[in-house]
Structure 1
Amino acid sequence: MGSMNYEEFVEACKDFESMSSKFSDGWELVTVSEPTSSVYLKKKVSCVKKSVKYNPPGVADAAEQDKACEDGDEVVVLENGELSEIHDPSAVSEEGEGELLTYDYHIVYSIAHSVPVLYFNAYNSSGKLLTLDEIWDSIPETHKEQVLANRWESLTQQEHPLLGRPFFQLHPCGTAKLMTLALEKTGPQTISKKEGKYIASWLSMFGPVAGLVVPVEYFK
Structure 2
Amino acid sequence: MLSRAQFEPACKAFARRHPEWLWVEGHHPGYGYLTRTTTHFANTSTEVLSDELEWEEDDAATGETSSPVVMVHEYIVYSVAFNVPAFYFTVHDTNGSVLSLAEIMRTSFFKYLPEGAEATSFALTAPSNSFPLLSQGEHPTLGTACWYLHPCESSRAVEEFMEEEREKLEGEERMGRWMEVWLMLVGSVVRL
1:201 aligned residue (151, 171, 181): 181
d(CA) in 1 for partners of 2:99 and 2:16?
A: 31
1:82 and 1:109, CA in 2 relative to 1: closer, same or farther beyond 3 A?
farther
Per-residue Cα deviation, 1:5-42 (whole angstroms, up to 9, x for no partner):
11111111110110013xxxx100000114x5511000
Counterpart selection for 1:32 from 23, 26, 41: 26
Q: Does 1:119 align with 2:96?
A: no
- CA distance in 2 between counterparts of 1:204 and 1:50 reads 25
DSSP-derived class of the 2:81 partner: coil
Residues 169 and 143 of structure 1: CA distance in aligned 2, closer, same or farther (over 3 Å): same
User: 1:37/1:84 Cα in 2 relative to 1: closer, same or farther (>3 Å)?
Assistant: farther
1:132–1:156 Cα contact (<8 Å) kept: no
How far, CA to CA, are the matches of 1:29 and 1:137 in structure 2?
29
Tell me how far 1:177 sits from its aligned partner: 1.1
Q: Deviation at 1:46?
A: 1.7
Structure 1 segments unaligned to the other structure (5+ residues)? 52-77, 213-220
Percent of residue pairs bearing the same amino acid type: 26
C-alpha distance in structure 2 between counterparts of 1:189 and 1:82, whole Å: 41
The 1:154/1:210 distance shift into structure 2, 3 A limit, reads same
Question: How many Å separate the matches in 2 of 1:81 and 1:117?
Answer: 30
Q: Is the 8 A contact 1:113 1:173 kept in 2?
A: yes
In structure 1, what is the equivalent of residue 78 of structure 2?
Answer: 109
* Length, aligned pairs only: 173
Using the size of structure 1 for normalisation, the TM-score is 0.67
Specify whether residues 172 and 125 from structure 1 end up closer, same or farther in structure 2 by C-alpha distance, changes over 3 A only: same
1:139-218, aligned counterparts within 5 Å?
140=110, 142-145=112-115, 148-149=126-127, 150=129, 153-184=132-163, 186-190=164-168, 192=170, 194-195=172-173, 196-212=176-192
Between structures 1 and 2, the one with greater strand share: 1
CA shift for structure 1 position 132? 1.9
Relative to structure 1, is the Cα distance of residues 207 and 192 closer, same or farther in structure 2, using a 3 angstrom cutoff? farther
RMSD: 2.9
